[in-house]
Amino acid sequence: MGPARSVTTAVIPAAGLGTRFLPATKAQPKEMLPVVDKPAIQYVVEEAVHAGIDDILIITGRGKRSLEDHFDRNFELEYFLGERGKHDQRDQLVDIAELADIHYVRQGEPLGLGHAISVARKHVGDNPFAVLLGDEWMRADVGLLDGMIRTYERYNRSVIALMEVTGEEIARYGCVKPEPVSDGLVQVLDIVEKPSPADAPSNLAVMGRYVLTPEIFDMLDRIEPGAGGELQLTDAIGLLLDEQAVYGYTFTDGRYDTGQVLDYLKVIVELAAERTDLGPEFRSFLVDFVREYEDL
């Protein structure tokens, strides 16, 4: 086993239909729904860039053109803002387009996360890569992806993000059978997709961040449709376990599922409350708002 290559490429699947947010997502991607004043997927791209990744492949589907336009230059709008002296806003737009080298490929059919990752093979080649699910947002100060990449560089093996969940929640996620390695790190002995709570091998759920070795593509070629009739990345990772070790990087805080309406609302409130320009007035509003409800 040679030295680990640096992880400089990320794949962001963003081809889902966003049915939980209908009718808002009928004509726009769920990843483009605003979180305060930025679309959800921009936070995901910024997280990858913060971890040292400069090459990003976004897996898109039908009706995702606005997503591509968001990360492209808009010279007319930039000129308009410049002419009116709105230089900070103009510079923000330029910065978005220069975040990273961003590429796009169509999934074609929505055949599951495993299929979405498989279409990245030509772009990724024989290199390790990160996967960041486009509708899960992680706080940058948690440093989750940085820690996962460091773990990959140490072991030269795939690393998946894990978080403890409670009760019935495990049925919504992939779940692992872990063997402790060190504080916050486990080796994955088995992995199953959306088990019933009674059959779950642990309470450690797979979250939407992965660092994968290129051998995962061979496993994706071998899997059959699984849960929901889709090609599941979890099943491919299960096959990979027979060929090489896979590690789980556990974390506890800073995750929001912006694909769930309630979590989407929570992250908007938290981010707005922390903003120096919005926070003081917004927090005051929230205090008054909660008091009014308590008095009802």
Q: What are the chain's domains?
A: 9-255 (3.90.550.10), 260-296 (no CATH)
- Count Cα neighbours of 154 within 13 Å in the Cβ-side half-sphere: 12
Output the pTM of the full model.
0.86
**How many Cβ atoms sit within 10 Å of the Cβ of residue 117?**
24
Task: Quickly count helices (H) and strands (E) in the chain.
Answer: 11, 13
Residue 129 belongs to what H/E stretch? strand 129-132
Rg of the chain's alpha carbons, rounded to an integer?
Answer: 20
What's the average pLDDT block by block, 10 residues per block, for the chain (296 residues)?
Answer: 73 75 70 82 86 88 70 58 63 59 79 88 93 82 90 94 86 88 91 86 91 95 78 91 94 81 87 90 92 75
